[in-house]
Amino acid sequence: MLSVQLAIWESKLENVIESIEWITQDMMSGNSINLTEKEVFKKTGQLYALRHCINLSSDLLDIPDFYWDREKLETLYQQMCSVLNLTRRTRVMNEKLNHCCQLMELLSSHLSDKHHVRLEWMIIILIMVEVSLFLLYIISLNWNFNTGFLRICSLSALKQSSINSKTNDIVY
């Protein structure tokens, strides 16, 4: 029973490995990986579900409780596990699962980094827009001040010239 169940899980793991095999090939050739965070999360979930079945939900790593009280059956169970290579097959599956999980963690980290870089650029652009608007505001204030100053200067010059002209009209 355990050997059949382990064979089913090995088959599932091989399917998952085949579905992500292209990722390492694209990484080696320098191509971009077109996976979304949702797809990476889904594959990671598949891997952890399989790991859970193998390590936590089955009796592959330990002798079932049923055999503890029955020494002859326990010995027979251990011999059967030895003949079917259950321990080695389980270890190999866990190593493959570890490798696949590390690959998914790498992809998740890469996607997260890309997202952070995009956010940083958005912040930089927003700061540049804010600085540009502030500079336009300062320039417009300065422009209004300068044109207003020129108006005041021209008005005072006109007043001064009119005063001068009036004083020139008065004869002493």
**Residue 172 falls within a domain, yes or no?**
no
**pLDDT for 154:** 52
Alpha-carbon gap, residue 133 to 14, rounded angstroms: 58
Dihedrals φ, ψ of 84, to 5°?
A: -85, 0
User: How sure is the predictor about 159, in pLDDT bands with cuts at 50, 70 and 90?
Assistant: low
User: Residue 5: pLDDT above 90?
Assistant: no
Domain assignment present for 87: yes
Residue 162 lies in a domain: no
Residue 133: inside a domain, yes or no?
Answer: no
Between 83 and 42, name the one with better pLDDT.
42
Phi/psi at 92 (nearest 5 deg)? -60, -45
Residue 41 is assigned to a structural domain of this protein: yes
Per-residue pLDDT, 42: 94
CA distances from 141 to 60, 62, 149 (A): 79, 80, 12
126-148: average pLDDT: 82
pLDDT at position 153 is 53
Question: Of 61, 48, 150, nearest to 97 (Cα)?
Answer: 48
What is the Cα 103 distance to its own chain's centre? 14
Q: Which domain does 36 fall in, by range?
A: 2-119
pLDDT in tens, 20-66: 999 988 989 988 888 899 999 999 999 999 999 888 877 777 777 77
Q: Tell whether 57 is covered by a domain.
A: yes
| Gap between the Cα atoms of 33 and 48, Å rounded | 22
Amino acid 6: pLDDT: 87
Provide Rg for the chain, Cα atoms. 40
Nearest to 98 by CA among 109, 86, 106, 87: 106
Asked if 103 and 24 touch (Cβ cutoff 8 Å), the reply is yes
pLDDT at residue 33, rounded to an integer: 84
Q: Is residue 124 part of a domain?
A: no
Any domain includes 145: no
| The three-state (H, E, C) secondary structure of 12-37, written as one string | HHHHHHHHHHHHHHHHHHCCCCCCCH
Distance of alpha carbon 90 from alpha carbon 87, whole angstroms: 5
Token duo for residue 54: 């193998």
Question: What is the domain count for the chain?
Answer: 1
- What is the pLDDT averaged over residues 70-77? 82
Task: Give residue-wise pLDDT tens across range 94-112.
Answer: 999 999 999 999 999 999 9
The more confidently predicted of residues 169 and 32 is 32
- Alpha helices by DSSP H, the chain: 2-29, 37-55, 71-83, 86-169
Query: Over pLDDT 70: what percentage of the chain?
Result: 83
pLDDT of residue 32: 86
